Structure 1
Amino acid sequence: MSTVHDSRPTPSAARTRRGRGGLATIPLFAFIGFAFGLPLVAIGYAALQVKDPDTLATSFGIANLTASLQGPYRNALQSSIELSAIVAFLGVVFGTLLAYAVVASGSRRLREPVLTASGVLANFGGVPLAFTWVATLGNAGMITDLFNLTDHGWSLYSFTGLTMAYLYFAIPLMVITIVPALDGLRPQWREAAQNNGASTWQFWRHVGIPVLMPSLLGGGVLLFGAAFAAHATAAAMLGTGSTVPLITLKIAAALGGDVMVGQENVAFAMSLDMILVVALVMAIYLPLQRRSARWLA
């Protein structure tokens, strides 16, 4: 007679494996706590410290948090959210269309240069990006002078101009984010839909878009965060006459004391506001991502 051996692990062995798996995650959680937890605690602590302007004595309160949501600070926060949302939406739309055109072409000669350029341009920000736009479309820029855009009401140092500058790195970032998801769309799905009489629109509505939704949402959150936290590009353009209020510029001005003296703790409160906005966006994104990921199961 042959003996059948049960290859399933015993309960004690399973517990041992889970314990070892838990120990393996300790360095990861330690890094997360050091890199993200400590700065968050420090920002929250500084945001709750209120300094008396007369005695310079400090106490704990919510005066800084209240001030960060009023007047010009509130306007800057709203403007940053609006700018980031528009950049994220346009970046997702145009980046996805560009990525789909590259993937659908099936040409490696087109795919490789586009992905390489996207990887470079996605990290091309800050002062060099601002200088490029100022030299091209600023008040004395080459294109501005060539087509006399100033007389037609064009201004780079506006909400529209800043949106265009941010899209310069947002669209390439979306391209490299969504291409792997587009590669995952199986040709058999389209063939099956066509064999069952589905139109192209019906395929994308019921199959393509739901499958891509987790990647689209993730790309949108990534673009929102990149635009929301961007500082150097806007700061460089501000020096040339930009009047767009942004929360990052307000924080830099408060910390530097160049414009607003004694507002350092308000700057920490504004930083805490930014963290809360990003946390809220992630809280909305994660349930949608889990729901849409069922298509990939």
Structure 2
Amino acid sequence: MSSRSRDAAAVFGLLPFAAYVVLFLAIPTLIAVGTGFFDSSGAFTWDTVAALSDPLILKTFLNSFWLSALTAIVGAIVGAFACYALLGSAPDGPLRSTVDSLSGVLAQFGGVMLAFAFVATIGIQGMVTVFLRDTLGIDIYADGVWLYELPGLVLPYLYFQIPLMIITFMPAMQALKPQWAEANATLGGNRISYWLQIAFPVLAPSFLGSLLLLFANAFSSYATAAALTSQGSQIVPLQIRAALTSETVLGRENLAGALALGMIIVMAVVMCGYAALTNKAARWQR
């Protein structure tokens, strides 16, 4: 094939994906954001966007920030240690294959299924809860029903954050070249100097990029939180649901569009940082 024919074939092959992006990502995003700038009669207004400065909305964004940051940091640290432990196993061995498969499945395991698993396990009448209370005399709900409130989302979120970290960070750990450790030992260095002066600086962009990805994943998660916390709208996705299912919120219609605009701005900043860190990390992985 000529160069022009190959370019035409490549463009034609991308058309289905481009159509998917436009129909299911671009257009819904524009519609969601656009509704935040119009009232019920279709007239342009800043009143709905101004609702983002309401203390209740600001608290909702703050809740989403700390929940996403906490689960991202914990998930990144635990996942990084898991990746380090897996370095000692054979790349094609049964352990690595099993962990990779489980991580791929658990990273996508969320929503009602995950909420039900936690309710059945550590819910008020869950298996572990009843065992601890009746056998050991430990009541994990002595201070309140925390599983169905904002703190209760931490454990379910970590359930899919840690596997996602293993998937995204493991390639960077595998890309560490044995020659670097050998050169460090030849020059009189030890294991500590290798990690502090070579491995950590090299892995830092990949680790931070994975951390931002985990933050974005938690910040945009909806189904698990919606299934566990049926009362209240403590994070932004649930606040958007409340705005869509109620006629008015704080006296303003179309608040969901303004909330979506706030989420999109946050996600855009995070993903730009993720892309920059990924490009930096790719330089030494080639």
Q: Deviations over 1:86-132 (max 9, x none)?
A: 11111111011112211223372321221111111111100110111
1:234-284 Cα shifts (integer Å, max 9, x gaps): 111113x6x671111111111012884975510111011100001111233
Determine whether 1:175 maps to 2:166.
yes
Structure 1 Cα separation of the partners of residues 160 and 116 of structure 2: 14
Structure 1 residue 169: Cα displacement: 0.6
Question: Any conservation in 2 of the 1:213–1:289 contact (CA below 8 Å)?
Answer: no
Of 28, 35, 41, the match for 1:39: 28
Match of 1:203 in 2: 194
SS of structure 2 residue aligned to 1:124 = coil
Deviation at 1:18, TM superposition (A): 8.6
Pairwise CA distance, 1:43:
2.1
Does residue 276 (structure 1) correspond to residue 261 (structure 2)? The answer is no
Residues 137, 143 of structure 1: 8 Å contact kept:
yes
**Aligned-pair distance for 1:231?**
1.1
Once residues 31 and 124 of structure 1 are traced to their aligned partners in structure 2, the CA distance between those partners, rounded to angstroms, is 24
Structure 2 residue 60 is the aligned partner of structure 1 residue 60: no
Q: TM-score, normalising length from structure 2?
A: 0.84
For the 8 Å contact 2:213–2:271, the answer to whether it is kept is no
- 1:233 matches 2:224: yes
* 5+ residue gaps, structure 2: 133-137
Q: Which residue of 2 aligns with 1:70?
A: 54
Map of 2:64 onto structure 1 = 80
TM-score normalized with structure 1 length: 0.81
Distance 1:209 1:244 in 2: 40
Tell me the distance in 1 between the aligned counterparts of 2:140 and 2:19.
Answer: 54
Q: Which residue of 2 aligns with 1:93?
A: 77
Superposed displacement of residue 292, structure 1:
4.4
Q: Which has the higher contact order (CA 8 A, sep 6+)?
A: 2
Once the two structures are overlaid, the 10-residue window that deviates more, 250-259 or 161-170, is 250-259
Aligned amino acid, residue 112 of structure 2: V
- C-alpha distance in 2 between matches for 1:176 and 1:86: 19
1:116 aligns with 2:101: yes
Q: Which residue of 1 aligns with 2:110?
A: 125
The answer as to whether partners of 1:253 and 1:259 remain within 8 angstroms in 2 is: no
Q: 1:40-95: CA deviations, max 9, x gaps? A: 321232110024xxxxx342122111103312222111111111111111111101
Distance in 2 of aligned mates of 1:140 and 1:258: 36
Cα deviation 1:206-254 (Å, max 9, x = unaligned): 2212332333233222211221111111111113x6x671111111111
1-side partners of 2:218 and 2:206: how far apart?
18
Partner of 2:86: 102
In structure 1, stretches of 5+ residues that fail to align are 1-15, 52-56
Distance 2:189 2:168 in 1: 28
CA distance in 1, matches of 2:159, 2:53: 30
Q: Which residue of 2 aligns with 1:3?
A: none
Q: Is the 8 A contact 1:181 1:212 kept in 2?
A: yes
- d(CA) in 2 for partners of 1:124 and 1:294? 32
Is the 2:69–2:215 contact (alpha carbons within 8 Å) kept by the matching residues of 1? yes
Deviates more, 1:266-275 or 1:106-115: 106-115
RMSD: 2.8
Partner SS state of residue 255, structure 1:
helix
- Cα distance in 2 for partners of 1:215, 1:18 equals 37
Contact 2:107 2:164 in 1 (8 A): yes
Residue 19 of structure 1: how far off its partner (Å): 10
